[in-house]
Amino acid sequence: MDSWDDQQMEIWQKEYSALVQNVAVPTLAFATSNLVISTVIFFSILVSLDKTGRGFTDMQTILGAIPLLGEKLEGLLANVDPKLGNGALSLLLVDFLAPLSIPLAVALSPFFSKWYTERFDIIRETLQNK
């Protein structure tokens, strides 16, 4: 493999830096903000279901009242721990609330974008100084 001269290295560093700024940073920023918001929503719902005593146990009762299928569903769901059921219900509600959480993630993305840009700049400077 041929070694690069200083001009080729400078061109590559500029292209790589542009790629990181234009692709990686926005992608990571949105993914991080979406993960943070989804996690907050998930645990908020989970804690509220746990504190109120509602959620999965109510769902078991409602599904048990369905004609013809109720007894089978109620028997199947009777084997599920209510805390696990509330977790599944919370996850379902996070997906249901995605149309509301995605705009929040977009709004929060610039904060994480700035954070990632600073980190990548530190890494780039460290690599250049070696």
pTM for the predicted model, two decimal places? 0.77
Exposure of 63 in the CB half-sphere (CA atoms within 13 A) = 14
Match 């569903």 to its residue by tokens: 73
Tens digit of each residue's pLDDT (9 = 90 or more) over 58-67 = 888 887 777 7
pLDDT at site 106: 95
Q: What percent of the chain has pLDDT over 90?
A: 48
pLDDT at site 84: 92
Among 111, 101, 82, residue whose Cα is nearest residue 44 = 101
CA atoms of 101 and 64, how far apart (whole Å): 32
Residues 27-36 have a mean pLDDT of 95
pLDDT at site 70: 67
Residues 22-37 have a mean pLDDT of 93
Examine the pLDDT at 68 and tell me if it is beyond 80.
no
